């Protein structure tokens, strides 16, 4: 199995084991699922392996937010900020 798919599966599994669902912002804007308009997500990470296209120097990690309602995965290079509940 490719490194990409292995990392993706690990990221999704980690999201499921997190602190549960929360709301987030990225660059000051609230994250809303574009599919179902939900605002609660599970947080995770995934490694982006760029060596297969000759860009090993560009390997990075991405932050993932998995919608708690429909399961859509949103990917971010910038770190999502958890909105603390009042």
User: 20-38 pLDDT, tens per residue?
Assistant: 789 999 999 999 999 999 9
What is the distance, to the nearest Å, from the Cα of residue 46 to the centroid of all Cα atoms in its chain? 7
CA 9, 5, 44, 24 torsion-angle sign: negative
In angstroms, the Cα distances linking 43 to 1, 8, 16, 52 are 24, 13, 8, 27
pTM of the entire predicted model: 0.66
Residue whose token pair is 């999704």 = 12
**pLDDT recorded at residue 18:** 52
In the structure, what pLDDT confidence band is assigned to residue 86 with cuts at 50, 70 and 90?
A: low
User: 57-77 pLDDT, tens per residue?
Assistant: 555 788 999 999 999 999 998
């Amino acid at each position: 199995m490719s490194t990409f798919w292995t990392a993706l599966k690990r990221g999704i599994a980690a999201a499921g084991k997190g602190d549960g669902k929360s709301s987030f912002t990225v660059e000051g804007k609230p994250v809303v699922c574009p599919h179902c308009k939900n605002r609660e997500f599970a947080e995770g990470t995934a490694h982006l392996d760029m060596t297969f296209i000759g860009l090993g120097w560009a390997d990075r990690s991405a932050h993932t937010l998995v919608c708690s309602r429909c399961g859509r995965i949103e990917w971010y290079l910038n770190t999502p900020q958890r909105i603390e509940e009042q």
